[in-house]
Amino acid sequence: MNQKAIRIAVLKFAHETVTFLPSDTTIDDFTYPGSPAKGEALLASEPDSYIGGFVKVAREFDGVELVGIESPLWSKRDTGSGWITNDAFEHFVGRMVEELAAQGPFDGVYLSLHGAMGVRGVPRPEAEIARRVRAAVGPKVFITGTFDPHGNEDEEFLRHADMAFTVKYFPHYDMYLQGERAARMLVRAIRGDFKPANVTVKVPIISPTVLQWTGASAWRDVVQLALTWEARAPDVYVNVFFGFPWCDGPDAGMTIQVQTNGKPELARKVADDIAGTAWRRRDELLNAATIYQIAEGVTLAREAVAKGASPVVLADYSDRSGSATWLLAEIIRQDLGKTLIATIADADAVAELLAAGIKPGDAFVRAIGGKFDESAGEPVRVSGTVLAVSNSASGMAEDAWIVVGFGRGNVLVLSPVLVQVKELVTLRTRGIEPADFDVIAIKSRVHFRRGFDDSGFAKTILLVEPAQPFMGTVHLQSLPYKFVELEKYYPYGAPAFG
């Protein structure tokens, strides 16, 4: 059967903003070789993630034309910078809207978003993007988005857009799948086969991300309930936003969205069931992980090694700048051996050392890390030998790693920006074999479980934090919120719900 050709615009603007970081995210952070991207380059920019899945399925339908609208790719400082400037937001969204007008008309728009974007002067950035895109393309065009479960969203996005599809797992295993789903549902909606009927429910729970691992109860159970609802009725699509408390906005906290094919009562029933379950189990959600102070964690790591329960992962969940030295200092103080520290971010040190032509075999004596703000601690002096100077495939200075051997078989990786090591392959491609170490100290909350836990690699996993409640802390009451009213959320207040 011949069907009318349809045109779909593809846009991306995604950032997970830690609004408490002192350095704003600017146009420059999103501008580098390859970014912004448009046309086929945008469509090919993330083959294993949201856009890759979207493009794959959209092109399985006959008569679908995809148009890549100029979009910034992921920030070169990853999540290591604060508020996006109003300038940057206006610049990139302004370009998108201009291009939508120039290249239209369209039948559909796909927005590849994150959900925890923080922009100065824009309270709900993703909803604002949807609002402006709606104004540009008109009321009849279907708009869908994909999201990260750390999004802070409320009903505002779906006021302007028709559909949203959010990753279910943390680590985020199903980004490609949600991209595929967004494409299929968008084409179906355009062709009249799906009539979006949505319900959004805010659940007044705010939680630090280190607790939100979906490999363990009760987070796993809430996600499983969402999957069960998707399985038991045709055309039910559930989004569970866990929320991202380091983005200070009015829509923080947990959100459930349910989408159905023209059945608002069913959407309501499913949303209430999942929201009610999350609320009933709020204590379990808030106590889903054990966290040790760094000194105790390092001692436990020593004991685990002595008992043969290695490799041990020491995961400093709290470091939001990448420069924190608390764990490194304690590893030196307790004289751990065969320990890999990956990484300490120190852009100045990396730039100076590269400029000086540092090479393997050189002596290394230097105080590194810290300084960034009080949460990063003091610089720590390390004396050793340079083992390697490596760049990743991109060849960009931002990716340079300086690998230093010191102490009793220890290896320290110095990087210019925050690095969250999620996979063993990240280390192996830089010539570091993780199995050579008894202890691996990393900066990650949950994503590392992909490579270190779900794979069975680590025998012992210890989540650690500094004694002081710094920026990345689970003790959210110590964060200087301007827009989040903590007393409206469990466990900081006693909100009425259900």
How far apart are alpha carbons 213 and 444 in whole angstroms?
12
CB-wise, 124 or 445, nearer to Zn ion? 445
Packing angle, helices 50-58 and 175-190, rounded to 10: 40
Using CB under 5 A as the binding rule, the residues of this chain from 26 to 65 that contact Zn ion are none
Residue nearest to Zn ion (CB): 150
CB of 316 to Zn ion, least distance (A): 18
Binding piece for Zn ion, criterion CB under 5 A, among 140-148, 251-259, 297-305, 427-435: 140-148
DSSP per-residue letters across 230-298: HHHSTTEEEEEE---TTS--TT-SEEEEEEEES-HHHHHHHHHHHHHHHHHTHHHHHT---EEEHHHHH
CB-wise, 175 or 341, nearer to Zn ion? 175
Main-chain phi, psi angles of 127, to 5 degrees = -65, -35
How far apart are alpha carbons 484 and 494 in whole angstroms?
15
Task: Evaluate whether 21 touches 118 at the Cβ level (below 8 Å).
Answer: no
CB of 125 to Zn ion, least distance (A): 16
Binding piece for Zn ion, criterion CB under 5 A, among 7-15, 141-149, 196-204, 320-328: 141-149
CB-wise, 166 or 325, nearer to Zn ion? 166
CB-wise, 207 or 310, nearer to Zn ion? 207
CB-wise, 8 or 247, nearer to Zn ion? 247
* Sole binder of Zn ion in the list 7, 150, 160, 282 (CB under 5 A): 150
The site that binds Zn ion (CB under 5 A) totals a number of residues, namely 2
* Sole binder of Zn ion in the list 148, 251, 319, 330 (CB under 5 A): 148
CB-wise, 214 or 261, nearer to Zn ion? 214
CB-wise, 150 or 450, nearer to Zn ion? 150
Contacts of 28 (CB under 8 A, 6+ apart): none
Radius of gyration from C-alpha coordinates of the chain: 23
DSSP per-residue letters across 132-198: HHHHHH-TTSEEEEEE-TT----THHHHH-SEEEE---SS-TTHHHHHHHHHHHHHHHHTTS--EEE
Binding piece for Zn ion, criterion CB under 5 A, among 89-97, 149-157, 406-414, 475-483: 149-157
- Decide: is 174 part of the binding site for Zn ion (CB under 5 A): no
Task: Report DSSP state, residue 416.
Answer: S
Task: List contacts with Zn ion (CB under 5 A).
Answer: 148, 150
